[in-house]
A = this chain, B = another copy of it.
């Protein structure tokens, strides 16, 4: 059986209070008692119970991370960054894949609460933002990453999605594209909406427009992207876009697959830009031009904000916006030309 604080105390001939003190480095203990207790802990291979400690008002040293799908490389990379930064400070990470379903979000929110996590990092969308209210009322620290929850006072770390969308558009415009289209995520995904806005904004500044049926909403799988891209690319030549802006790398892969299936060459017949710059972007055929999010810095920052909130409550909520970057690979070129 596991050794408890009582075992240590008995073995060392002191009170449990003494043991507790040396563990927490509080109170006054003579050096020799301290040493003795430490020795006994070692000998018994004593592992203090976080559970018991947490019950006494201390922390659980556990954080929750809600994302749509941990098997999606983007979120897996986020998770790794978050895990590392948390681990640095002694925290563990519980992952929660929501599939963007409110019921799952709710379930996980409740579960994490019952498990008394010290804080939650939310990187998933949800239709009903009210779900977060109860948590905030109970002042459970919550921070957002890669998603915004407007109207809610929450620390938030995002990349500048609007600017990212602009960058993609600028790239296409500079290349000379005239017929553009977008593969967006579900409209409830704020980051995707911003990217679309930025893209459209830049296009309009350049005197171009985007017809509605050239903006397709997908879920977040490559299959979805492929299906929508197929429809786009099968339009009559005069309407068929020569450039596709995809709101994430997964969708871009779907677009690439669609192009391949239709025997369209990339980038000669159609250019594709993705978003996120996950590992996927570097291995596609051709390698994907994409807008990079600074995933690691974002993950680190969001943990820092959360831990900050953990100690000093009720400060100003920050909104940290990090700059995306256009990574030009080989999926983009001038329309109708070999690059």
Residues of A within 8 A of B (CB): 1-2, 45, 47-52, 54-55, 60-62, 69-73, 76-77, 79-80, 83-84, 92-97, 110-116, 134, 138, 222, 253, 256, 279-280, 282-287
Contact = CB atoms under 8 A, between A and B. Distances in A.
Nearest to A284: B283
A268 to B, nearest CB: 15
Contacts of A55: 49, 51-52, 55
Given A51-B54, A280-B279, A284-B283, A71 B60 contact: no
Nearest to A280: B283
A274 B121 CA distance: 35
Contacts of A114: 47-50
Contacts of A115: 50-51, 60-62, 92
Given A50-B116, A60-B115, A92-B115, 9 more contacts: A48-B114, A70-B80, A71-B80, A72-B76, A73-B279, A84-B97, A93-B94, A94-B94, A94-B95
Given A49-B114, A280-B280, A285-B285, A97 B71 contact: no
A55 B115 CA distance: 12
B134 A45 contact: yes
A313 to B, nearest CB: 14
Contacts of A93: 94-95
A45 B1 CA distance: 36
Contacts of A71: 73, 76-77, 79-80, 279
A79 B83 contact: no
The 5 closest A-B pairs by CB, nearest first: A285-B285, A76-B76, A71-B80, A71-B77, A50-B115
B116 A283 contact: no
A145 to B, nearest CB: 15
Nearest to A296: B71
Contacts of A49: 55, 114, 116
A60 to B, nearest CB: 7
Contact of A80 (B2, B60, B97): B97
